[in-house]
Amino acid sequence: GAVVSQHPSWVICKSGTSVKIECRSLDFQATTMFWYRQFPKQSLMLMATSNEGSKATYEQGVEKDKFLINHASLTLSTLTVTSAHPEDSSFYICSARLGPGPYEQYFGPGTRLTVT
């Protein structure tokens, strides 16, 4: 149980275009999902916390107009990288929790974005 999927697993796009990444909790309902960015050989950087039916909460330094997050249902959150640039190339990972406190996060397999 507690499986999180991401789609696509990898994507290559041209500079200036937008890319949408989907994150789904397959066998549980997640009121809260998280979006992370990971650079090579580095730790996770939390980008935003996504709550179903409300606006996402972005971490300091993350441009909310560039990284659009939508949490339309209890099983789906999307991250759209708008007007992508080469510096947006990264590994994006989503996760979901059953609840706060003692509940662990379940992570998606990640999406490798390359902007040319």
Partner 1 sequence: AQSVAQPEDQVNVAEGNPLTVKCTYSVSGNPYLFWYVQYPNRGLQFLLKYITGDNLVKGSYGFEAEFNKSQTSFHLKKPSALVSDSALYFCAVSPQNRDDKIIFGKGTRLHILP
Q: Which residues here bind partner 1, judged by CB under 8 A? A: 4, 6, 32, 34, 41-44, 46, 49, 91, 93, 95, 97, 100-110, 112
Q: How far apart are the C-alpha atoms of 83 and 14, rounded to whole Å?
A: 9
> Minimal distance in Å, beta carbon 45 to partner 1?
9
Q: Which CB, 86 or 101, lies closer to partner 1?
A: 101
Q: Which CB, 82 or 98, lies closer to partner 1?
A: 98
Tell me which DSSP letter residue 82 carries: -
Contact 22, 112 (CB under 8 A): no
> Minimal distance in Å, beta carbon 66 to partner 1?
21
Q: Which CB, 13 or 44, lies closer to partner 1?
A: 44
CA 113, 39, 5: angle at the middle one, nearest 5?
Answer: 50
Q: Which CB, 81 or 97, lies closer to partner 1?
A: 97
Nearest-10 Cα torsion for 58, 4, 41, 63: -20
> Minimal distance in Å, beta carbon 29 to partner 1?
14
Contact 36, 53 (CB under 8 A): no
- Radius of gyration, CA atoms only, the chain: 13
> Minimal distance in Å, beta carbon 49 to partner 1?
6
